[in-house]
Amino acid sequence: MRLVILLFALGVSATVHAGGIDRLKAFIAGARAVEADFTQHVVDKSGRVTQKANGTMAFARPGKFRWDYTAPYEQVIVGDGAKLWLYDADLEQVTVKPLADVIAGTPAALLAGDNALEKYFTLKDVSEAKGLEWLEATPRNRDTSFERIRMGFKGDTLMQMELFDHFGQRTTLEFSRLVRNPVIPAARFKFTLPKGADVIGE
């Protein structure tokens, strides 16, 4: 699956001594945009690390986001509010799909989507672990890439996300240098087709 594991995520919240659900709802109410660096690693069902990556991300609610992978491969994922663009530099290939077809039941719907969280997810607080307070979100639509999504908060900051797929893999995203409500130019969420790239989809 190369580096494309996520559809997106991020956030912070504002409520001290609150559970994960309260923190997530506070974020949805107060954070219209986020920027951060991230590291990502994937562990298979036997516990073996199969992938490591890092890069930067940004999103502006609703429905606009950008993930730039810088290592070990160059890859870009852009949601412009209407379409999802995925660019693989090594393959010189762009995949494009309607955003509505792919966002439901994903971390993007949790954090870069609209406010209807519990329309798409069953939410519950889970026990504190690794020094973080955790929320777990299970997609109501089972026809999604993810079985469940966990979000770990420290204070008012989202520190980690864990994405569990149907093959027993766990993808962990760790965030740093996270900024809430930065000024992000609109052009950052517009995808420019690289010269010579093949286009798959629309």
pLDDT at residue number 107? 76
pLDDT at residue number 12? 32
Q: What is the radius of gyration, based on Cα positions, of the chain?
A: 16
Other beta carbons less than 10 A from residue 39's beta carbon:
14
Mean pLDDT, all residues of the chain = 84
Identify the residue with better confidence: 126 or 119.
126
Any alpha helices (H) in 112-192, and if so which ranges?
117-120
120 phi, psi to nearest 5 deg = -105, -20
Domains and CATH numbers, the chain: 20-201 (2.50.20.10)
111, 101 contact by CB (below 8 A): no
Token output for 195: 């010269």
**Residue 30 reports pLDDT greater than 60:** yes
pLDDT at residue number 45? 93
- Hey, which residues does 76 pair with through a beta bridge? 68, 87
Q: Give the model confidence (pLDDT) of 170-198 as tens digits.
A: 999 999 999 999 999 999 999 999 999 99
The secondary structure of 26-65 as a DSSP string is HHHHH-SEEEEEEEEEEE-TTS-EEEEEEEEEEEETTTEE
